[in-house]
Amino acid sequence: MAKALFIIDVQNDFTEGGALGVAGGAAVALGISQYLARNPEGYDVVIASRDWHDADNDNGGHFATNEAPDFATTWPVHCVAGTPGAEYHSALDTNRIDVHVKKGQGKPAYSIYQGTTDDGETVPQLLDRLDVTDIDVVGIATDYCVRASALDAVSDQRQVRVLTDLTAAVAEASRVAAVAELAEAGVDVQESVSLPQTEADA
């Protein structure tokens, strides 16, 4: 049995100054790096996702091209493959990432489960191969891609925990709703700073 950390979409376009910047995004990037530095042996595998959208199409209607985005199912152009906006935020220590997952690539994608590795492996295949049973989830945004990833992981029969102090949300109302939905689905919602010292040092 193995334990994984999902780092969801800590990218320039989702942090302050980006195309879909979330307040607190840069602090989350730094907080995740500090958390991993304090817990170097805390996870058997660290898996990070990125939105990685096509530049030459609307990505299955994900990008608003002819009308204003509704910020629910259509969005401004963001995280286009190979652009600075799609790169990890500079405060995130990418040396601690073991597996990189790209999602989108021509279609809407919110959950890390909708992505693949550069070798074409799906996330369920990866987790099964590594015998991952427990997953902690951090990243951006609490109320969208973190939510979707955690819900998919618990549906995949994993033990899932979201560390809310290492996430940032688009809006407070949707954050509250997402946290309630996650808890109802069986996700353990707590803060990394509240973890037992023995676990944090594991």
Q: List, by residue number, the catalytic residues.
A: 9, 103, 145
- Tokens matching residue 84: 């600075």
**What residues contact residue 116 under an 8 Å CB cut-off, 6+ apart?**
101, 102, 103, 122, 123
**What residues contact residue 127 under an 8 Å CB cut-off, 6+ apart?**
4, 135, 156, 158
Q: What is the DSSP letter of 170?
A: S
Helix (H) or strand (E) holding 184: helix 172-184
Find where tokens 């204003």 sit.
Answer: 68
Q: Helix H segments across 64-165? A: 123-129, 147-155
Selection from 150, 159, 163 nearest residue 200 by Cα: 163
CA distance 94 to 92: 6
- Tokens matching residue 198: 């023995």
Enumerate the β-bridge partners of residue 101.
49, 117
Contact 13, 154 (CB under 8 A): no
